[in-house]
Structure 1
Amino acid sequence: MVEARMIHRGTPRTRRQSGQAAVEAALTLPLVVFLVLGTLQLFMMLQARILAQVAAYRAVRAGSINHGNCLPMMHAALVTMLPTVARTDSSETLAAAFSPRRHNQFRVRSSYGRDFNEPLIEIVRESPDAGWAQELTGGEDLLFDQPTDNAAALRARTLEIRMVAWYYMRVPFANWVMSRMLLAHFRLRRYTAANPLMPVQRRSAWWGETSATLGRDGWPGGDLGTRMVRWSDQGHFVFPIQVNAAMRMMTPVMSEYFMGGPACNLHGS
């Protein structure tokens, strides 16, 4: 009888403890889920960063052996970045992934029902100078094979590019949280809504440092930050990975490939 009373008296306490555990689990579960999914998304972004560096090298090499032509550079970079958006583990899957994206367009639909049809990469040629290339006599660098110690001439015969690879974050929940963190970090949008990792915090006020920047402007598609905000509002969480590469020209510069200026057309022409 005594044992039964002790068990009976302990029941309300057990229920309170169970209720407290349920509340604690509800508060910490979003954080645990984000730690798992966020780690996965972060490693995928790091992989994309490595691929972007390789893509920039392959792009600048393709341009150096093709007179600075944008199209070979665009295709070389696209092929390298394809593993971030599709399977490329065989020649067949690589061809299937490249064919619909050969014009530098990536299509996907968000959970909001909004279509995303934007470039995967953008390339700007820092050197040789587009104005100099456009005024070449005969449309070609006729002194290409002449040895020189002139710094200006050496720079004119070095292909230097900067490239942005748009990485589309796909991991559910993690992409939504990380997108808002990145927008706040780069001071593109102050995030003052409820903290998704701590629902009881109604005004999280995420905001980046004044020194945070997305880098240089002048990209073919326009300002990076403006597009990040617009796409985020549409349910597309995309991050611009910016890389640079340079290589000595192995073929002479031809003016016909620089008539559009230093920036390559979004579709590679």
Structure 2
Amino acid sequence: MAFPHPQRRKHESGQAAVEAALCMPLVVFMVLGTLQLFMLLQGRILAQVAVYRAVRAGSLNHGSCEAMTHAALVTMLPTVERTRTPAQLANAFDERKRNFLRVRGSRGTLFTEGPMVEIVRESPDVGWVRGHGEEDLLFDVPTDDAALMRQRTLEIRMVAWYYMRIPFADWVMSRMFLAQFHLKNYTNANPLNPAQKESDWWADTDVELGPDDWPGGDLGERMLRWNAQGHYLFPIQVHAAMKMMTPVRAANFNGGAGCSLHGF
């Protein structure tokens, strides 16, 4: 049907408004989501550096949890606060040296419940360490025993909690992650497509978060709890190993394989 010129212009204007309303959420998410994704990738790189520094600190300090945790914390501080000067770095570390994340989210609320990092020592075995008394007195004696060499290797896995703070992108991506890990099925209106009133965000493949024997407990349960409170966190899991440069001390393993300076 052919419209008169003024009427056709009004019709086209209305059509453009509808198209803009449908496309705008996706365009906004593409911009904000890209920023959040690259910040998350930066957090991943920092976590890989942090776990290397943590295992090195533990290797030089008899497997000490405090040395490993502090080495990892210092590396991860740029993800939560500006650390451009020595004074800023010192202040940021002083506020979080007991392994409290302490970060202000996009809504302005302060998050202090969770830790920044959690470390579990895969090797040496806790029972083996305690069986050698206070310290491994034969540490400097050369050996070809593969099992013994493994016990004298510090192997750790670490989770670094990354706090997503880009508005809108954090909300959308957190629901994507929960669906991907089979933690929560999102069936409400699709925030990226207003015309889709019932979305079905649930991964077809089983993607696991990994072991649950972290010092703070199950990762998925905490993601769900913090998400319900409006805090969107993602657990970045990394791993590293290094030969012990100093003999392990039983006193450093009194709390078991897990390392925590945080009152979970």
Sort the TM-score into its range (normalised by shorter chain). over 0.9
- Counterpart of 1:56 in structure 2 is 51
Give the letter aligned to residue 91 of structure 1.
Answer: P
Take 1:113 and 1:166, find their aligned partners in 2: how far apart are those partners?
17
- Equivalence for 1:128: 124
| Distance in 1, Cα, partners of 2:6 & 2:77 | 59
Retained in 2: the 8 A contact 1:59–1:72? yes
Give the aligned partner of residue 92 of structure 1.
87
Q: Using the alignment, how far apart are the partners of 1:91 and 1:34 within structure 2?
A: 35
Q: Alpha-carbon deviation of 1:113? A: 5.4
- Does the CA-based 8 Å contact 1:221-1:266 persist in structure 2? no
Q: CA deviation at 1:208?
A: 1.2
Q: Give the one of 4, 12, 16 matched to 2:11.
A: 16
Match of 1:172 among 154, 159, 167: 167
1:267 deviates by: 2.9
Residue 244, structure 1, aligned to residue 202, structure 2:
no
CA contact (8 A) 2:115 2:161 kept: yes
CA RMSD of aligned residues (A): 1.6
Displacement of 1:112:
8.7
Q: Which residue of 2 aligns with 1:5?
A: none
**C-alpha contact 2:100 2:112 (8 A) present in aligned 1:** no
Match of 2:149? 154
Q: Does 1:68 align with 2:57?
A: no
Query: What stretches of structure 1 of length at least 5 have no aligned partner?
Result: 1-7
SS in 2 for 1:55: helix
Q: Which string of whole-angstrom CA distances, capped at 9 and with x for unpartnered residues, describes residues 13-49 of structure 1?
A: 1001000000100110000000000000000000000
Aligned AA (2:161): W
**1:119 alignment partner AA:** P
> Cα 1:62–1:35, aligned 2, differ >3 Å: closer, same or farther?
same
1:207 equivalent in alignment to 2:202: yes
Q: How many angstroms apart in 1 are the aligned matches of 2:92 and 2:111?
A: 19
Give the conservation status (yes or no) of the 8 Å contact 1:158–1:246. yes
For residue 9 of structure 1, report the CA deviation from its aligned partner: 3.2
Provide closer, same or farther for how the CA distance between residues 112 and 66 of structure 1 changes in structure 2, counting only shifts above 3 A: closer
3-state SS of 1:106 partner: coil
Take 1:81 and 1:265, find their aligned partners in 2: how far apart are those partners? 16
User: How far has the Cα of 1:109 moved from its partner?
Assistant: 5.2
Change (3 A) 1:113 1:88: closer
- Give the alignment of 1:188-227 within 5 angstroms: 188-227=183-222
Picking from 226, 242, 254, the partner of 2:249 is: 254
Aligned residues: 260
Matched-pair contact (CA < 8 Å) for 1:190–1:205? yes
| In structure 2, distance between residues paired with 1:92 and 1:31 | 41
> Are the aligned partners of 1:187 and 1:209 in contact in 2 as well (CA < 8 Å)?
no
- Residue 132 of structure 1 aligns to which amino acid in structure 2? W
Contact 1:122–1:266, Cα closer than 8 Å, also in 2? no
Residue in 2 aligned with 1:117?
113
**C-alpha spacing 1:54/1:109, structure 2 compared with 1 (3 Å):** closer
Q: Which amino acid aligns with 1:37?
A: L
Partner of residue 26, structure 1: 21
